[in-house]
Amino acid sequence: MEHPDESGASFIPATQRPDGTWRKARRVKDGYVPQEEVPLYESKGKKFMSKQLQPEDGPVKVDGLVTHKTIPGLFIEDKPSKKERKRAAKVEQLARDLKKMDMNGGSNGHVDPSKKLKNLKKRLREVEALEAKIKSGELAKPDPDQLAKVARKNELILKIQELEN
């Protein structure tokens, strides 16, 4: 592609781009090879494989694993992708959780009374704080959900008394 001019310097002639515009002619050093003409690098292993691997060579099963025999004595395993491994781990975790639930009598099993009592007391404190805001006028127009929460105050007190006894 290089053409020497009368002074002996090489240049790449003008070429037309696919969109119809033209590239200018470029001066280049002697021995320059344009990028398009540089052959692609091929590693020794890839060259060896392209010469040695015959069509009859294919996947080989070793101990139940599918492998590909590329270089004599070298086996490369087909491993699942990271996404597939994560999915399998999630499925295994769900299976373990289901077994635990079956062993414990389901997810509606025994709940620690101290935790339940702590949760009920927390809800009671929230209801009392909401009631105080309504009475002080800080909360002028409470939502229907807030009013329903205040209405359940007696139920919470009864549940707390049951658990404490």
The model's pLDDT over 87-106, given as tens digits with 9 standing for 90+, comes to 989 999 988 888 887 666 55
> What pLDDT score was predicted for residue 128?
93
pTM, two decimals, is 0.35
Residue by residue, DSSP assigns 123-147 as HHHHHHHHHHHHHHTSSSS--HHHH
| 46: in domain | no
The parent domain of residue 95 ranges over: 81-110
Per the listing, tokens 């492998």 go with 67
Instruction: Assess if residue 128 is contained within a domain.
Output: yes
Instruction: State how many domains the chain has.
Output: 4
Which of 27, 62, 77 is the endpoint of a domain?
77
pLDDT for the residue numbered 103: 66
Q: Are residues 59 and 26 in the same domain?
A: no
- 28-64: per-residue pLDDT in tens? 888 887 787 888 888 888 888 877 665 555 555 555 5
Q: How far apart are CA 96 and CA 85, in angstroms?
A: 17
Q: Tokens in use for 73?
A: 């004595």
Backbone φ and ψ for 21, nearest 5 degrees, come out as: -80, 165
- Which letter, b or e, does each residue of 152-164 get, where b requires 16 or more Cβ atoms within 10 Å of its Cβ? eeeebeebbeeee
Asked, for residue 44, whether it belongs to a domain, the answer is no
